[in-house]
Structure 1
Amino acid sequence: MSDPFQSHAPSLQSPASHLMAITPNDSTDLAQVPRALNVAASGTVRMITQGGETADVYVAAGIVFPLRPRRVMATGTTATGIRGLW
Structure 2
Amino acid sequence: MDSFKEFPTTPVSPIRDAAAVTPSDSVALPSVTRAIYIGQPGDVAVSMAGGQDVTFQSVPAGTMLPIRVGAVKATGTSAAGILALW
Q: TM-score by structure 1 length?
A: 0.90
Which structure 1 residue ranges, 4+ long, deviate > 3 Å from structure 2?
Answer: none
More strand by share: 2
Q: How many residues are treated as equivalent by the alignment?
A: 85
Letter of the 1:77 counterpart: T
- For the aligned residues, what is the CA RMSD? 1.1
Instruction: State the shift of 1:29 in Å.
Output: 1.2
**Does 2:24 align with 1:25?**
yes
Instruction: State the shift of 1:3 in Å.
Output: 1.8
Distance 1:11 1:60, change over 3 A: farther
Structural mapping, 1:47-62, within 5 Å: 47-58=46-57, 59-62=59-62
Per-residue displacement from partner, 1:2-47 (whole Å, max 9, x unpaired)? 2221121111211111111110011121111111000111111101
Runs of 5+ consecutive residues of structure 1 not aligned to the other structure: none
Structural mapping, 1:36-55, within 5 Å: 36-55=35-54
Q: Percent identity over the alignment?
A: 38
**Does 2:73 align with 1:73?**
yes
Q: TM-score by structure 2 length?
A: 0.90
